[in-house]
Structure 1
Amino acid sequence: MSTRLTVATLNVRGLPLKGSRLGERFAAIADEFDAADIDLVCLQEVFAYHHLAHLRKRMPSFPYVAYRPSAIGPAGGQVTLSRLRPASTTYAGLPWSSRPSALPLRARLNALHSGMLTVRLADCRVLNVHPMANTDGDWSEQNRFYELQRDQFSALARAVSAENSPAVVCGDFNVSQASTLHRELQQRTGLRDAFSRLCPPTFHAEYLAPGNKPHCIDFILAAETIGVDSTELLFTDKRVLRSGPTYLSDHIGLLARLRIPD
């Protein structure tokens, strides 16, 4: 016997802050999630309480909203909305202190907001994760971001392995499939990619600097005991808002229909 669980993940903020039509975009994102057959949604970059209010107002069918409060909004910008009652929720920041002087100031500040939000359901744990961004787009072991990202992925691996219950890990990982960090995470935890490594780029190319290629940097990983019935990409195309057509985020969303063993 098994329990069906449909999960989705999306980095919602994205796009340049100026002229990003945040309110319109959040309303449209929330409307689509609320109309979809999804049990649990992991969101990243919900940094302010009024942003969260936009989402909650338009997602009434998701009565359970998990996040850790901070001064201006959800800690780490991470929010998980669920139609299923969680047994518990916890939040933990990811390490950020390795070689801080080697990184740009903005990157060091952003690292303070990287974390993992864990929602425990009856049959599994769902971890909403958002490690720090590598703004170089270079995931080699020689890159200046590598050591800090390695520390963060090690902390994530320990969190996944700390309990025996099956885990699902969703979010904007900020590393590509080709990164050794991504492969080592799967090796250390036994997690597997719900998309079977066939996920296309999850970042819209037009928001990258000239000459940069988009990669698959958003993932849904699941314990080996969890079955995957199907997967989908979300928010791949522009939507027509009152102010004109736009992508709802610079990221593409992911959805997986899973089977959790009883």
Structure 2
Amino acid sequence: MSLRGHVSIATLNTRGTPVRGSQLADRYRSIGAFFDRSDVEIVNFQEVHTYHHLRLLRTTMPSYGVSFRPSLAGPAGGVATFVRRSAGTRDYHRLSIGSGVSRWSRAKASFKGVLLTRLDELWIANTHLLANTDGDWSDESRFTPIHRGQLDALARVMESTDGPLVLCGDFNVARKSTPYKAFLDRTGLTDAFDGRCPPTFHAEYLSPGNSPHCIDFILSRGLDVQSAEQILTDKVHLPGGSMYVSDHVGLRVTVN
């Protein structure tokens, strides 16, 4: 199915890096400037936790409008979708809290969700699942039950929509994991990178002995993928020194 021309869509987990010395404002200005001078029409951000985070991005991305569900501290679930098209319907769904992990992890899971934004005939979904702090995506991992529950909830939301759809975000599950494969089988969504996306997390932010994986995805339904690439892969020069704009790598696709 074709849209009215090609649409360029990107996703990036923005906060990243250690809290101390993270140069948040400078990194956000660099992220915003990158997209505002690009031809990307839709940008899905994760970990935009506060209205301060959101204001930093909006200030440096004046050519975009923004879709989000307001909450007390900032965008619900930390997800915000910046668009250069007129947005229509917007909805937000919380995901499953689950069990099998610490009380603190379950508390964090309660804030995870998916933002749906309708752009003409196209649905854009933006999500962020609970982080796997163990780096273990085996079936025996203590995070597997909660990720399975969150992906089941996410699948139900995807099944509630019809027509062309693009789902973006930081899934925090490895491409090789059983819950992720089951999610694709259930929803019929297609990986824009055809399963060949390199790791999307910078190795230097991992604990010793852990390897980076592809944990960020752009999935689609009813669309043709024209191109797919990683973006924001290199360090940038900021006032406090050279660093990555996030611990995650960004993804960009063009569909029609």
TM-score w.r.t. structure 1 length?
0.94
Out of 9, 21, 24, the position equivalent to 1:22 is: 24
RMSD over equivalenced CA pairs, Å = 1.1
How far has the Cα of 1:137 moved from its partner? 1.4
Match of 2:232 in 1: 235
How far has the Cα of 1:110 moved from its partner? 1.9
2:253 counterpart of 1:256: yes
Instruction: Describe how 1:152-167 pairs up with structure 2 within 5 A.
Output: 152-167=150-165
CA distance in 2, matches of 1:2, 1:29: 27
Report the AA paired with residue 247 of structure 1. Y
CA distance in 2, matches of 1:128, 1:179: 20
Match of 2:81 in 1: 80
| 1:222 counterpart SS class | strand
CA distance in 1, matches of 2:71, 2:229: 33
- Cα-to-partner distance string for 1:101-147 (whole Å, 9 max, x where unaligned): x3234322321221100111112111001111111111222211111
CA distance in 2, matches of 1:28, 1:120: 28
Report the AA paired with residue 66 of structure 1. S
2:13 counterpart of 1:11: yes
Match of 1:52 in 2: 54
2:174 counterpart of 1:176: yes
2:125 counterpart of 1:127: yes
Say if 1:258 and 1:145 are closer, same or farther in 2 by CA, change over 3 A: same
How far has the Cα of 1:254 moved from its partner? 0.1
CA distance in 2, matches of 1:93, 1:159: 10
Match of 1:226 in 2: 223
Report the AA paired with residue 154 of structure 1. D
Match of 1:94 in 2: 95
CA distance in 1, matches of 2:9, 2:50: 23
5+ residue gaps in structure 2?
Answer: none
Instruction: Count residues with an aligned counterpart.
Output: 254
Match of 1:31 in 2: 33
5+ residue gaps in structure 1?
Answer: none
How far has the Cα of 1:163 moved from its partner? 2.1
CA distance in 2, matches of 1:37, 1:240: 23
How far has the Cα of 1:92 moved from its partner? 1.1
CA distance in 2, matches of 1:84, 1:160: 22
Report the AA paired with residue 167 of structure 1. L
| 2:12 counterpart SS class | strand
Report the AA paired with residue 34 of structure 2. E
| Percentage of identical aligned residues | 46
| 2:29 counterpart SS class | helix
TM-score w.r.t. structure 2 length?
0.96
| 2:39 counterpart SS class | coil
- Is this contact kept in 1: 2:93–2:157, CA < 8 A? no
How far has the Cα of 1:214 moved from its partner? 0.2
Out of 199, 206, 209, the position equivalent to 1:208 is: 206
